[in-house]
Amino acid sequence: MVLDSPLPQLDRLFDYRIPEPLRAVAQPGVRVIVPLRTAGRRARGYIVELADSVDFDGPVHDLEDVVSEVPVLDPAVWRLVRRAADRAAGTASDLLRLAVPPRMVRVEKAWLARESSPPPLPSARGLTGYDQERSRALLDAASPAHNEHRVALRARPHPVALDDGTWVPAFAQTLAELAAATLATGRSAIVSVPDYRDVAHVERAARAFLDEDLIARVDAGQSNPDRYRGFLRTLERRPVLVLGTRTAVTAPAHELGLIAVWDDGDPLHVEQHAPGVHTRDLALLRQEHEQCALVFAGHAPSADVQRLVELGWLTALAPKPEARRRLTPTAHQVNAEPSAERARIPSSAWQTASRALERGPVLVQVARPGYAPRLACTDCGETARCARCQGPLALHAHGATPSCRWCGALAVDWRCATCDGAHWRTVGRGTARTADELGRAFPGARVVVADGSNPVQSIPRGRTLVVSTRGAEPLVAGGYAAVLLLDGEQMLARESLRVVEDCVRWWLNAAALAAPDAPVMLAGVGGAVATALSLGAPEQIVAAELADRRSLRFPPSVRVAAVVGEPEAVSHAVGVVSDLPGVDVLGPVELDDDRVRAIVRFDYGQGALVAERLKAELIRSATQRPRPLPGRPPRRRTPLLRVRFDDVEPFDDPAGNRARAAGAGASGRIEG
């Protein structure tokens, strides 16, 4: 059995004897309670397998109790969790806490007592908007009679109407069609998306093709009873569509035929809890074992997916040419309009918005929320900073008191730390200030702000200007009449390894909310990025980014592991892997609290050995900590050593990381 413990030294299988009264219910996959071999403690865990004998020479303790007769740990899920944990030098129990939700007794009893007949399976259907011959190969791959097929699918860039008149983004319809085609063959499908809004879109689309009882939703945005109810549905021995956020990939699924991941470049696909495994990696590991179809869908490929396409591991599939979106960069209009290069909203974009408002809502995407994303001292020009944490100050509304973007503290009686000046000026424009300016420019239009603080799900048709941050854009029936993408230069100036591919993804995700014939204007961006977007070829941008990273040995051309802890522990840990071929170490650099961080870079072929050695260092570090004195409770201390694999955050702007940690990010994306 496997113990539910985060301690790395306990991350292995333990043998326990099953007493006679429990033998009927102590089956693989059930939750159990067992005694630990020290201090008379008890622990929870799961039975992984049964055996007639054990290799352990010491005493074998009896299983204490079976919590429930429901086998919640599916064998396929256990294999996935074990492989993923080993790949990231993590513990299986950390992943099991995400894969298996807490038990809800009433829900479980109702499920055990259920009497229901299997709902009818859907009829087979094709993929709307794609070449039928190429898409048929993908759909056939999800059936039991065919081998696996792995695809990087480019989504259609506009909303679509379902048969009941409901409008959804086209990607939701495509994923629902893939799932329906899979279930039509008697196999299950898993669809994983970044946040709760994407779940809602795909669920609405799926209900157009599938009986409600064929859909099992599993995501953290549900109540505990609803999540456990959906999880129990995935345990049943009949086809099901498992729909949810990043944890959906670890859900059980009877005879799995398809795994589909939407927008894998979204950071919400990265699990924040240890060991921090990405949805994409879980999907790849599970597909390899279950030999099912695999789809990574998006409006632009991530660099990781592009790498797999170039290796031949994934096959690219794009919609028909007439369905592809081409952006119009205002920088390409500089010759006709000399001021376009300097203007935040060039006159051509103003004219486009004015004409489009007569036909329907217009979307304006900006870089930052609030009124002014940054303040500066009027006297010396230095950035106005918080007296508490030195974070940058921002103005969330006109006339409001400035507040810190990192810690949220109000800057009352602010003084400049450089020149002692007492006056500040605004720098840049956020959603609120942009909305004020557009409201004055278009007095007859309704202006709506949509960002992380003001979530808006949908907008009715009408003369409406929607000012939104990236990822918070509402849906409009029929699509927006025009989309203006502002602050492109500011977005590209962010210090991040993934800044270019992130910007391309943000822009194309917003552009995909426009009607098929609606203009999409991109302001403040020129060069190769603008040219590729004007040609409808975002993969060219990502391929160039990947080539640059390959020459510099940056992810995803290589894998990385961030090693954080006390200097001596970090030095010892990197020392045990630095002698391996294809391994090099960046750092260490000093962090807060007397800790340091080193980044280990290594080739993919060395991943298993690097993870094995760093896992051994984690165990050594955990077991060599001083024991508490007798009679005194143990103190909670920061671990001597932490390891996180495939983490690109150390390559990002430290200020941006602080802001995200404080919940001050600009995006309206919320994982559910």
Could you give the CA distance from residue 670 to residue 672 in angstroms, rounded to a whole number? 6
Residues 312 and 356 occupy one common structural domain: no
112, 147, 170 — which closes off a domain? 112
407 is in an annotated binding site: yes
Residues 344 and 437 occupy one common structural domain: yes
Q: What band does 359 get if pLDDT is binned at 50, 70 and 90?
A: very high
Q: In this model, does residue 655 exceed pLDDT 50? A: no
Give the residue carrying structure tokens 């694999």: 645
Q: What band does 670 get if pLDDT is binned at 50, 70 and 90?
A: very low
Residues 594 and 537 occupy one common structural domain: no
Q: What band does 666 get if pLDDT is binned at 50, 70 and 90?
A: very low
Highest mean pLDDT out of 2-6, 114-118, 256-260, 618-622: 256-260
Residues 602 and 544 occupy one common structural domain: no
Is 186 contained in some domain? yes
Secondary structure (H, E, C), 277-342: CEHHHHHHHHHHHHCCEEEEEECCCCHHHHHHHHCCCCEEECCCHHHCCCCEEHHHHCCCCHHHHC
Residues 181 and 53 occupy one common structural domain: no
Residues 410 and 532 occupy one common structural domain: yes
Residues 199 and 95 occupy one common structural domain: no
The average confidence (pLDDT) of the chain is 88
pLDDT, tens digit, 9 for 90 and up, residues 13-35? 999 999 999 999 999 999 999 99
Is 475 contained in some domain? yes
503 is in an annotated binding site: no
Backbone phi and psi for residue 410, each to the nearest 5 degrees, phi listed first: -75, 140
Q: In this model, does residue 245 exceed pLDDT 90? A: yes
Residues 91 and 152 occupy one common structural domain: no
Number of compact structural domains in the chain: 4
CATH number, position 35? 3.40.1440.60
Give the residue carrying structure tokens 């909305």: 435
Is 484 contained in some domain? yes
Is 106 contained in some domain? yes
List strand residue ranges (DSSP E) for 318-474, in order: 328-329, 362-366, 374-377, 393-394, 403-404, 424-427, 446-450, 458-459, 464-469
Residues 233 and 350 occupy one common structural domain: no
For the entire predicted model, the pTM comes to 0.90
Could you give the CA distance from residue 150 to residue 259 in angstroms, rounded to a whole number? 10
Residues 171 and 242 occupy one common structural domain: yes
377 is in an annotated binding site: yes
pLDDT, tens digit, 9 for 90 and up, residues 520-559? 999 988 899 999 999 999 999 999 999 999 999 999 999 9
Amino acid occupying residue 108: E
292 is in an annotated binding site: no
419 is in an annotated binding site: yes
Q: Residues 579-591: what's their mean pLDDT?
A: 91
Q: Residues 609-628: what's their mean pLDDT?
A: 84
Domain range for 455: 328-549
Could you give the CA distance from residue 177 to residue 124 in angstroms, rounded to a whole number? 9
Q: What is the pLDDT of residue 50?
A: 93
389 is in an annotated binding site: yes
Residues 287 and 363 occupy one common structural domain: no
Is 512 contained in some domain? yes
Is 474 contained in some domain? yes
416 is in an annotated binding site: yes
Cis amide bond preceding 329, omega within 30: no
Q: Starting at the earlier edge strand, list the strands of the sheet with 188-192.
A: 215-218, 241-244, 188-192, 256-262, 293-298, 150-154, 315-317
Q: Tell me if 655 sits within 8 A of 392, measured CB to CB.
A: yes
Give the HSE-up count for residue 632: Cα atoms under 13 Å, Cβ half-sphere: 8
Residues 61 and 22 occupy one common structural domain: yes
